[in-house]
């Protein structure tokens, strides 16, 4: 049986729910149709999230993304819809979806949508470059 597009997002248990760790995915083959002209729109999607109890399963994500190929969507609509459905499936601590649409009519469109779990605060970033600079000053 051939693989088909699917709207279902499957998940699996976060293997380390006690730790905030960054999951980054790049999806370079997103397509949908312009709702005005019916012409194809192409984008690279960047998904960044910090899981809580569940992570998104990659094959189901691929089939889910594929399901938009023959649907008409404005860039802003489809980016927010995908984020909302991913948040609904995974309930992450944090999630950001960046959609970088390729040029159409001389215009590039980038849409960034975010979700933060109520009460979640990111940990302070560690700047390791500062430690390298200090060690170079010692004689």
DSSP string, 40-60: EEEEEEEEEEE-SSEEE-HHH
Place of tokens 């990111």: 122
Residues designated catalytic:
34, 41
19's tokens: 């730790």
In terms of phi and psi (left: phi > 0; alpha: psi -120 to 50; beta: otherwise), the region of 60 is alpha
């Amino acid at each position: 049986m051939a693989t088909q597009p699917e709207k279902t997002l499957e998940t699996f248990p976060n293997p380390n729910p006690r730790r905030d760790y960054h999951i980054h995915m790049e999806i370079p083959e997103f397509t949908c149709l312009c709702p005005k002209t019916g012409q194809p729109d192409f984008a690279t999607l960047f998904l960044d999230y910090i899981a809580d109890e569940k992570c998104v399963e990659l094959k189901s994500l691929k089939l889910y993304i594929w399901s938009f190929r023959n649907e008409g969507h404005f860039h802003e609509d489809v980016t927010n819809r995908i984020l909302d459905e991913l948040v609904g499936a995974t309930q992450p601590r944090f999630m950001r979806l960046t959609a970088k649409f390729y040029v159409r009519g001389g215009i590039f469109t980038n849409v960034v949508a975010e979700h933060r779990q109520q009460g979640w605060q990111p940990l302070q970033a560690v700047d390791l470059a500062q430690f390298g600079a200090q060690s170079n000053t010692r004689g």
